């Protein structure tokens, strides 16, 4: 199965793993799963660190790079196909990073791993967000 991690899941996985639901931990431990992260998450982490909404041990870029290297996650770049999908999504959620992650999950045929309940409104599979 192919999964795309929401930015908070990526951060929690390495800084606060106890915050992850047991089913998320199981997915991340299963070696047959293909786990992806978006380059948009690096961008989001950088912005949040810069404005004081995220505390990182070094820099957001280094945290993203080290986390990806340590976990062997695949990095999903932003493509025109993702933007085209984004253009067609209704505005159920106003956060541009979350909407881009939804578009990437749809185009890349991934299950989106998130605790954000609002993302269930989109036409993609979601793991973990409480119903």
- DSSP string spanning 13-33? HHH-GGGS-HHHHHHHH-TTS
pLDDT tens track for 85-102: 999 999 998 899 999 999
Q: Residues for the chain: how many in total? A: 131
Q: From edge to edge, which strands make up the β-sheet containing 126-128?
A: 74-76, 34-38, 2-5, 111-114, 126-128
- Which of helix, strand or coil describes residue 119? helix
pLDDT bucket at 131, cuts 50 / 70 / 90? low
Domain range for 121: 2-128
Q: How far apart are CA 12 and CA 115, in angstroms?
A: 11
How many domains are contained in the chain?
1
Residue 30: give its domain's CATH number.
3.40.50.1010
pLDDT tens track for 47-86: 999 999 988 888 889 989 998 998 989 999 999 999 999 9
For tokens 């505390």, the residue is 55
Residue pair 10/56 in contact (Cβ under 8 Å)? The answer is: no
Question: Nearest-5° angle of CA 56, CA 49, CA 40?
Answer: 100
pTM of the predicted model, to two decimals? Answer: 0.94
């Amino acid at each position: 199965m192919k999964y795309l991690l929401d930015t908070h899941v990526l951060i929690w996985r390495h800084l606060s793993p106890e915050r992850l639901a047991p089913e998320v931990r199981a997915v991340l431990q299963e070696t047959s799963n293909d786990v992806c992260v978006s380059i948009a998450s690096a961008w989001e982490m950088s912005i949040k660190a810069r404005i004081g909404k995220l505390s990182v041990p070094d820099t957001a870029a280094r945290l993203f790079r080290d986390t990806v290297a340590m976990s062997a996650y695949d990095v999903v770049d932003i493509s025109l196909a993702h933007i085209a999908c984004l253009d067609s999504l209704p505005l159920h959620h106003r956060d541009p990073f979350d909407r881009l992650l939804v578009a990437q999950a749809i185009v890349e045929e991934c299950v989106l791993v998130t605790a954000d309940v609002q993302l269930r409104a989109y036409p993609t599979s979601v793991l973990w967000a409480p119903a």
